[in-house]
Structure 1
Amino acid sequence: MSNVFNVGTSVPAQGSGSLNRTVTSTPILLAQFGLAVPQGANRVLLSATVGVRSSLLAPVLIFTILRGNQVIYTSREAVLLSVGQEQTVTVHAIDLNVPVTSNQGYSLTVELENSLLTGAVVTGPVEFSGVSYTL
């Protein structure tokens, strides 16, 4: 039986059209939170939802989840939309056997895979959450 230990959330933008952050070829921070992690066999379930809009051709976005400075998950998402249309991207990850400290910091970034002739804007929503539990 699993036991939930802690929940962390970051919701910098709740609705579509609530942000206007240009995505570049350098990672930009979208959201972050701290999370207490239990001792022993543990896991952290992570989930993120991000609204984006294509601003030039069909961009490919790289979403990255970090624990501290360590990359624990990356997802390559093609935004196959006409310029100006919005799309919601959802990513899920599981962090296994997390080192136990008082808190772990998780963050979500996004970047363009190739900024030549492509472009994207984060428009919202941006929601990032995690649940730590024991097995």
Structure 2
Amino acid sequence: MTAIFSIGTSTPATGSNSINRTLSTTPILLAEFGIGIPNGSNRVILNATIGISALLLNPTIIITVARDQQVIFTSREELQISVGENRTVSVQAIDVNVPATGNQRYVLTAQLAPGLLNGSSVTGPVTFSAVSYSV
């Protein structure tokens, strides 16, 4: 029987244009939380939403989720938007058989993909959440 064990959330920006963090090719921390992990066979379902604004045409961003400094998910998002336009990007990941050593720390970062004419900023919303459960 499946049983929910813990829920973790981080909501640093709840609406569009609620923050302004310019992206570069170096990852910036957007959100983080700790979540309890059950013993035995388990899963952690992770969800993130990030609002992006283009500073140059068609920015490409890299979204990363890490567990205790170990990258467990990466998504490359090529946004087809013009300068000044906004787009909300959502990503989902599942972390399987996580070590049950108490709480695990999950971190959400974003960065620009290397390349010319690539510029954007995080403008909100930014939400990051997870549910851990045993299977």
Name the SS for the 2:49 alignment partner.
strand
User: Aligned partners of 2:12, 2:88: CA distance in 1, in Å?
Assistant: 15
Paired AA for residue 89 in structure 2: V
Matched residue pairs, number?
A: 135
Equivalents in 2 of 1:57, 1:86: separation in Å? Answer: 12
CA drift at 1:115: 4.6
Q: Per-residue deviation at 1:116?
A: 2.2
Tell me if structure 2 keeps the 8 A contact 1:24–1:115.
Answer: no
Aligned to 1:70: 70
Q: Deviations over 1:30-82 (max 9, x none)?
A: 00000000000000000000000010121110000000110000001011101
AA at the equivalent of 1:95: D
Which residue in 1 is equivalent to 2:84? Answer: 84
Give the TM-score, by structure 2 length.
0.98
| Matched-pair identity in % | 56
Asked if structure 2 preserves the Cα contact closer than 8 Å seen for 1:30 and 1:126, the reply is yes
Q: What is the CA–CA distance in structure 2 between the aligned matches of 1:116 and 1:2, rounded to whole Å? A: 48
Q: Which amino acid aligns with 2:86?
A: E
Letter in 2 for 1:64: T
Match of 1:114 in 2: 114
- 1:16 counterpart letter in structure 2: S
Gaps of 5+ in 2: none
CA distance in 2, matches of 1:78, 1:54: 11
Aligned-pair CA distance for 1:102? 1.2
Q: Map of 1:1-135 to 2, 5 A cutoff?
A: 1-135=1-135
Cα shift at 1:113: 0.6
Cα RMSD of the aligned pairs, angstroms, is 0.7
Q: Is the 8 A contact 1:30 1:108 kept in 2?
A: yes
TM-score (norm 1): 0.98
Quote the Cα distance in structure 2 between the aligned partners of 1:12 and 1:25: 21
